[in-house]
């Protein structure tokens, strides 16, 4: 029997509540599909930082490298200055574990929850492959003459050929495996960012030569936003840099019904990957049993898929779809018609 080692980082805000529901589903699905897992909980996040000053201890980072996957809730606390936890935990994990892909599916499970007029389930079904270790997220740059009227702030976008090449290759492989339209769209800004996206374009078309069965397309990032609203059905796989990917996947979350359903995977195909709902810690809903746990449950489904438990992953996704279609009144916190724990129970029941 297969056995997996899963590290669980519930994190801040509503993170623990949604992760609890995900773990409930994991327990049920492991029995049904005959695999075992061993989980270890890690408490990093705002509370630990505020009481001990620790962000992500090196010892925990080292331990995390020995797991088969990491299941993460949310990082971010309104009582902590922006950037400390995000950069110190989330981005540090992505970088140090070299999770160079952020894979974010944009799938509409029920057209009732799509804010776009006249769009149906079949119109919103694509995936964004976001580069996850470079670009403007590297943290290079600095200040000159800080706090004077002549202050200068520089923040640089770092794009390496190796980093872009492996990201593009992942996108083409994924389009092939997904076997839908077999199309990869590069989302960039070649008309203004004539260095960074020149490299991206060269790497993209070079990799494309190895995939004659996959069509290529290009859209500027601003136009991508426009098409995501006007004709989302044009997209199959979108590949883009770190910041553009961050921005367009929030738009993607909205057209699939909101943050309550949007999941992502930070993938290192050769190492330890980390799966998370992309909605954040939602402080105002914390502890109320009203947050939607489906994004976390969809992240669990992605994790199972990457662990090689395809049938279990599909069963979880199908159950989520069923619950969304037949039960929920809304995908938003407090308006689902059910509590957080009840939605988790419904997913278990429909497995
Ligand atoms: C995300 C988040 C993070 C990001 C923040 C919290 C650092 O917005 O996962 O999309 O910008 O990547
Ligand atoms: Mn984001």
Protein residue closest via CA to atom 8 of ligand 1? 246
pLDDT at 149: 98
The CATH number of the structural domain formed by 125-255 is 3.40.718.10
| Mean pLDDT of all residues belonging to the chain | 98
The percent helix, strand, coil of the chain (3-state, each to 5) is: 45, 20, 35
**Would you state the pLDDT for residue 301?**
98
* For range 217-241, the mean pLDDT: 98
Q: Which atom of ligand 1 is nearest to the CA of 90?
A: 7
**Domain boundaries along the sequence of the chain:** 1-103+278-351, 125-255
pLDDT digits (tens, 9 = 90+) for 262-293: 999 999 999 999 999 998 999 999 999 999 99
Q: What is the reported pLDDT for 342?
A: 98
Q: Extract the runs of DSSP E, i.e. beta strands, from the chain.
A: 3-11, 36-41, 69-74, 101-107, 125-131, 141-144, 152-155, 183-188, 215-220, 237-240, 263-267, 273-277
> Do 125-255 and 1-103+278-351 have the same topology in CATH?
yes
Tally of residues, the chain: 351
- Model confidence at 109, pLDDT cuts 50, 70, 90, reads very high
Tell the residue number behind the tokens 């190895």, with chain if given: 210
What are the tens digits of pLDDT across the range 182-192? 999 999 999 99
- Kindly give the distance from the C-alpha atom of residue 278 to the centroid of ligand 1, in angstroms, as a whole number: 8
Give the C-alpha separation, 59 to 350, whole Å: 40
Q: Ligand 1, atom 5: nearest CA belongs to which residue?
A: 86
Domain 1-103+278-351 in CATH 3.40.50.300: no
The closest residue, in CA terms, to atom 10 on ligand 1 is 246
pLDDT the model gives residue 156: 97
pLDDT digits (tens, 9 = 90+) for 30-45: 999 999 999 999 999 9
Tell me what the mean pLDDT of segment 115-129 comes to: 98
- Which pLDDT value is given to residue 68? 98
Distance from C-alpha of 107 to C-alpha of 121, rounded to nearest angstrom: 8
- The pLDDT-based confidence of 47 (bands split at 50, 70, 90) is very high
String of DSSP letters for 195-227: THHHHHHHHHHHHHTT-TTSEEEEEEHHHHHHH
Mutate which of 91, 128, 134 for ligand 1 pocket (most atoms within 8 A of beta carbon): 91
Average pLDDT over residues 227-243: 98
Cα–ligand 2 centroid distance for 246 (angstroms)? 5
Q: What's residue 135's pLDDT? A: 98
Cα Dmax for the chain: 66
Tens-place pLDDT, residues 145-200: 999 999 999 999 999 999 999 999 999 999 999 999 999 999 999 999 999 999 99
Q: Sorting pLDDT into bands at 50, 70 and 90, what band is 93?
A: very high
Whole-model pTM over 0.85: yes
Residues with CB under 6 A from ligand 1: 76, 86, 90-91, 246, 278
């Amino acid at each position: 029997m297969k056995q997996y080692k899963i590290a669980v980082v519930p994190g801040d805000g509503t993170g623990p509540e949604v992760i609890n529901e995900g773990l409930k589903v994991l327990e049920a699905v492991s029995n049904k599909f005959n695999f075992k897992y061993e989980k270890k909980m890690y408490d990093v996040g705002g509370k630990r930082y505020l009481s001990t000053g620790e962000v992500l201890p090196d010892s925990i980072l080292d331990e995390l490298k020995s797991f088969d996957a990491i299941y993460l809730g949310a990082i971010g606390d309104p009582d902590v200055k922006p950037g400390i936890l995000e950069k110190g935990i989330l981005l540090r994990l992505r970088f140090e574990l070299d999770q160079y892909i952020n894979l974010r599916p944009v799938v509409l499970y029920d057209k009732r929850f799509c804010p776009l007029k006249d769009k149906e389930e079949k119109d919103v079904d694509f995936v964004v492959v976001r580069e996850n270790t470079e670009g403007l997220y590297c943290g290079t740059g600095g200040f000159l003459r800080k706090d004077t009227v002549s202050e200068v702030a520089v923040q640089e976008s770092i794009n390496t050929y190796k980093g872009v090449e492996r990201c593009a290759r992942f996108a083409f492989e994924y389009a092939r495996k997904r076997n839908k339209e077999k199309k990869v769209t590069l989302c960039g800004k070649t008309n203004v960012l004539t260095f960074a996206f020149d490299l991206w374009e060269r790497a993209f078309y070079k990799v494309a030569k190895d995939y004659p069965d996959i069509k290529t397309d290009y859209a500027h990032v601003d136009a991508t936003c426009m098409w995501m609203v006007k004709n989302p059905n044009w997209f199959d796989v979108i590949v883009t840099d770190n910041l553009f990917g961050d921005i367009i996947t929030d738009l993607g979350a909205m057209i699939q019904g909101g943050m309550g359903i949007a999941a992502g995977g930070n993938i290192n195909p050769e190492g330890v990957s980390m799966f998370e709902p992309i909605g954040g810690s939602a402080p105002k809903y914390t502890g109320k049993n009203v947050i939607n746990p489906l994004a976390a449950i969809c992240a669990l489904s992605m994790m199972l898929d990457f662990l090689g438990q395809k049938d279990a992953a599909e069963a979880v996704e199908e159950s989520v779809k069923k619950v969304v279609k037949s039960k929920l009144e809304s995908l938003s916190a407090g308006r689902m018609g059910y509590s957080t724990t009840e939605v988790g129970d419904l997913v278990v029941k429909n497995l």
